[in-house]
Amino acid sequence: MKDDFSSQLSARILAGAAPVVVGLDPRVQSLPTKIAPGATEPDRILAFYREVLPRLAPLIPAVKPNIAFFERFGAAGFGCYEATCQLAKELGMLVIGDIKRGDIGSTAEAYAEGHFAMADALTLHPYLGRDSLAPFLSHCSASGKAVFVLVRTSNPSACEFQDLETPQGKLCDAIARAVDDWGSDLGDPKGFSLVGAVVGATWPDEVVRLRALMPRAWFLLPGVGAQGAGFSDVEGAFDSRGLGGLVAQSRGIMQCFSPDDAQWLDHIEQAAVEFARGIREVATA
């Protein structure tokens, strides 16, 4: 499928876009003071993204709205999430819905149907096994959507469970092998699959080791910046063409200004330019 998520992402990066995804984790207290003063919090958030996303669209291929930061405002917040996804798509950006769902049967199918209507790819928990992925994989097969499965997360306590020994090695290794299997017949057989993996950049040795277990998986790499990882920590995710990794950044770009700074929009654009340049250099080293 030439227009599936993986093919689109590969094409954009090969055409010059940086392998970067900007996280949309709106915090009202960090919004510019001049953005829709007096409006509701969801309306202020959406007004902010209407200013920011047109500046980011020429620079980066994708955004990753985190639904928790929208859902906390109830129905209006969910509407803001939906509108933000639609805005990004209208600007030509791929949308990764950071929803981290994990359930089975008709519940999983309902999640897949609802969230794939808004996003091109979704983050998922694998704890319930293949049953929890099956409805999402069906959508991937039918419409070229993608998923990113939590394999080795960036948080400090990830090792408490993800490093537990199993007959297949660490638990994260067992999940990695499942990701490779789930994506075996999805996507370009000679390229990357539609089943990706969330692999924290805070564990650079694990990035390299897990790449060997998941040679066709896109890696979604959180942790650069506020969580302590540096640009060089993601180098092991990329192939010789600079493909295979999508490095996430949120606060370092979207909160790089003081709320009362009149030049806040320029600061965001410059931060995005600098982050994209740094990641592009590492990816093509």
Active site residues: 100
Structure tokens at 48: 């902010």
**Side-chain half-sphere CA neighbours of 24 within 13 A:** 30
Question: Whole-angstrom Cα distance, residue 19 to residue 276?
Answer: 7
Per the DSSP assignment, residues forming a β-bridge with 123 are 148
Q: Are 104 and 114 in contact (CB under 8 A)?
A: no
Q: Residues near 181 by Cβ (< 8 Å), separated by ≥ 6? A: none
User: Given the DSSP bridges, would you call strands 165-166 and 169-170 parallel, antiparallel or unpaired?
Assistant: antiparallel
Backbone angles phi, psi at 75, to 5 degrees: -60, -40
Structure tokens at 137: 């994989």
- The rounded Cα 142 to chain-centroid distance in angstroms is 21
Question: Whole-angstrom Cα distance, residue 111 to residue 102?
Answer: 9
Structure tokens at 260: 């009362």
